[in-house]
Amino acid sequence: MKTFCGRANPTTGALDWVEESQEYDYHQEIARSCYADMLHDHDRNEKYYQGIRAAVARVKARGQKVVVLDIGTGTGLLSMMAVTAGADFCYAVEVFKPMAEAARCIVEKNGFSDKIKIINKHSTDVTVGPDGDLQEKANVLITELFDTELIGEGALPSYEHAHHNLVQDGCEAVPHRATVYAQLVQSELLGSWAQLQPVEVEGARLLPPPSVGRCAGAHSVCDIQLSQVSPGSFTPLSPLCTMFSVDFSSPVSSAFQSHSSQFVAQCDGKAQVILSWWDLDMDPSGSIVCSMAPSWTYPQPKTAPWRDHWMQSVYFLPVESRVTRGEELSLTVCHDDYSLWYSLQSLGQQDAPTPAPSSRPCCTCRAHLVWTRPRFGELNDRRRTNSYIRALRSVLREDSVCLAVSDGSLLPVFARMLGAKKVFGLENSTMSKQLIEQVLEANSLRGGVELLEVKPEQLTCGDLGGEQISVLMGEPYFSTSLLPWHSLFFWYCRSALAGLLRPDAAILPGSASLHAVAVEFQDLWRIRAPCGTCEGFDVSPMDEMVQRSLDFQESHEAEPHPLWEYPCRALTRSSAVMTFDFTQSIPQQPISSHGSLPFLRAGRCHGVALWMEYHLTDDITVSAGLTEPISEQGDCKWSRHRKQGVYFLRSPWESSGDGSAAVSFSFTFEPSLGDIKMNFSITTQ
């Protein structure tokens, strides 16, 4: 069977499906996953262990043999906990083959092979009987099937099947129950991730298309580290509402359901956003609780457990509405087998409240399909928009012919509003093109702007009506870019269009620079930290797999992370480590850069943060990384709009901060690949 994997191609701006060789190592997928984060989540592991011990004890107290079914066993950790707690036998189900192989190795290494059977199947394919996977039905059901939305990984269908086919009636379940909570808030910050807001352009007002304002938006959850959203950036309009609970010890239904919670509005405001999270009761009494609540709900926020495999959810109401203090409201959550959605009704009106939608909201305006939520935030960033408008104003003339190269960008609209003679825009898809046309139509700007769905290398003078380009502009933003430097696709576009540019054409941005800073992460380091032992069990085979992955690669790679969600301290100064001149065509030969970043602060260096800055003009720069200078203590404030690159060191380095050690770096930009090879090492004097 052929294997294909998606790979971003920075030279074409496309997502290519590449056939992997037979040597493709799927252990890399494990290495890049968050298993290390789960294994390092002591709060989760401890609560599961407590719940498992209690469940096994209850079954033994009834004089019964303890047979456990562990669905989604992963490393086999929970199965080993069950046997250690006294279970007679455990069936551990894992559908992902490399992970099932890892679980077999870990179970054998810990001496549990005689009491734990690893089953490499989806749980709905597991059978019971003399010739089946299970010899008998289980009386203890252990699962870890949850995601940030609770049910997004198919927990409900899996539970439904298990109760009908794989476990005894009245079985014990760990966790025993899950409860979903929600809070209605007003937030300019979070609201900017859902709708395009009006933009001021030198006294004129650019309005979003009416279809966008009426659209219910994307149904998918927005999962983030809500602990990093300051309570000062939103206003609670409701108390924390208990929306619904699911009892996992009884038959579970995956059919559509809705649940409502009534409350009185706490203050006047605009109902925009729902903040949501859940907790797990590991036992029937609810005395063992594993909570996903953000840190600012804790009396002492620093005591809140950190985890990345489970975060918190943000939902956007289909329609924003004004509420007044004291108003009686009803918040309704609906769910099918895989997702949740919310609606709000007023109970104080004489007319009957609007019924909750029975089907998931879906985008009808195209904007929520073209623009991601961080992209909405970027387009609504007034400071950033003003930088582009000032830069455009400095290069535009009455006879300017502009060409914009960015996906779903408002730059063509801005250029037309600023008086450019003719504006062209290259769009990567029909949907993106139609969306920007809606924006132009809503603001009576269609005249003088032409959007083309054509690749840069295929553009001809005829497509431009015989005109030559006097201003080539880009944000740059491309939907297929994964790492910060993938936006260098703009450079490839500029080179492909060289024959259509006037000799004195302005290029905006004129250049870009790659920046780096060595950092100490508060928590993110956990996702790549060695596991060794976990709750007393040897899970080192996971570390061996990660190391195997790293050795398999030609060089260690950076990975994308939204660093505003993951606090870190800078241990060195930030520095531009490479510069790319967009006023010239892309070179044929590789570009290399070498240097070092001396440690200026004491701390544990986990890796290097990387980002791009775009120099629109000589004095206007837009950063996709740090948005403010690093503080004296090393605190960093990161852009929420783009992901930054993170290169994790294989082993953390303890810095004394006296300048006696440094992070040495080597970068090579390969024009033929459009990617940057990099290496880092610690050097001492």
Q: What is the pLDDT of residues 353-365, one digit of tens each?
A: 555 667 788 899 9
Q: At 121, is the secondary structure helix, strand, or coil? A: coil
Provide the residue type at 652 as one letter.
P
Rounded mean pLDDT of the chain? 92
Q: Nearest to residue 52, comparing CAs of 25, 33, 77, 29?
A: 77
The stretch 642-658 carries a mean pLDDT of 95
Categorise residue 114: left if φ over 0, alpha if ψ from -120 to 50, beta otherwise.
alpha
Categorise residue 180: left if φ over 0, alpha if ψ from -120 to 50, beta otherwise.
beta
> Confidence class of residue 304 from pLDDT cuts 50, 70 and 90?
very high
- CATH number assigned to the domain covering 511-522+567-684: 2.70.160.11
Could you list the active site residues? 144, 153
Domain boundaries, the chain: 32-175, 178-363, 381-507, 511-522+567-684
Is the distance from CB of 34 to CB of 529 less than 8 angstroms? no
Q: At 205, is the secondary structure helix, strand, or coil? A: strand
Is the distance from CB of 406 to CB of 614 less than 8 angstroms? no
Q: At 133, is the secondary structure helix, strand, or coil? A: coil
Q: Give the list of residues 6+ apart from residue 556 with CB closer than 8 angstroms, or none.
A: 550, 647, 648, 650, 679
Q: Return the percentage of the chain with pLDDT > 70, whole number.
A: 93
Name the pTM for this structure: 0.93
Which residues lie across from 678 on neighbouring strands?
667
Q: Give the list of residues 6+ apart from residue 253 with CB closer than 8 angstroms, or none.
A: 156, 160
As given in the structure block, the two tokens for residue 275 are: 């903040």
Chain centroid, CA 655 distance in Å: 30
- CATH number assigned to the domain covering 32-175: 3.40.50.150
Q: Nearest to residue 486, comparing CAs of 299, 669, 281, 647?
A: 669
pLDDT in tens, 439-449: 999 999 989 99
pLDDT in tens, 556-601: 689 999 999 999 999 999 999 999 999 999 999 999 999 999 999 9
Provide the residue type at 39 as one letter.
L
Q: Which residues of 335-360 are buried (b: 16+ CB within 10 A; e: fewer)?
A: bbbbebbbbbbbeeeeeebeebeeeb
Is the distance from CB of 566 to CB of 643 less than 8 angstroms? no
**Rounded Cα–Cα distance for residues 69 and 163 (Å):** 11
Cα separations in angstroms, 154 against 130, 144, 358: 28, 11, 19
**Torsion angle, alpha carbons of 380, 381, 382, 385, to 10:** -90
> Confidence class of residue 29 from pLDDT cuts 50, 70 and 90?
low
Q: Nearest to residue 249, comparing CAs of 446, 474, 64, 51?
A: 51
Q: For residue 509, say if its preceding peptide bond is cis, omega within 30 degrees of 0.
A: yes
Other CB atoms within 10 A of residue 113 CB? 12
Q: Return the percentage of the chain with pLDDT > 90, whole number.
A: 85
pLDDT at 550: 54
Other CB atoms within 10 A of residue 434 CB? 15
Q: In 144-272, which ranges are continuous DSSP H helix? A: 155-165, 188-191, 210-214
Other CB atoms within 10 A of residue 114 CB? 10
pLDDT at 23: 42
Strands (E) across 46-166 are located at 67-71, 89-93, 116-119, 138-143
The stretch 91-113 carries a mean pLDDT of 95
Is the confidence at residue 24, as pLDDT, over 50?
Answer: no
Q: Would you say the CATH fold of 381-507 matches that of 32-175?
A: yes
pLDDT in tens, 502-525: 999 999 999 999 999 999 999 999
Which residues lie across from 452 on neighbouring strands?
426
The stretch 376-394 carries a mean pLDDT of 97
**In CATH, which of 3.40.1800.10, 1.10.1060.10, 2.70.160.11, 3.40.50.720 is domain 178-363?**
2.70.160.11
> Confidence class of residue 528 from pLDDT cuts 50, 70 and 90?
confident
Is the distance from CB of 410 to CB of 379 less than 8 angstroms? yes
Q: How many helices (H) and strands (E) does the chain have?
A: 15, 36
The stretch 650-666 carries a mean pLDDT of 94
Phi, psi at 304, each rounded to 5°:
-70, 135
pLDDT at 327: 96
Chain centroid, CA 446 distance in Å: 35
Is the confidence at residue 379, as pLDDT, over 60?
Answer: yes
CATH class of domain segment(s) 381-507: alpha beta
Q: Give the list of residues 6+ apart from residue 287 with CB closer than 8 angstroms, or none.
A: none
The stretch 114-141 carries a mean pLDDT of 97
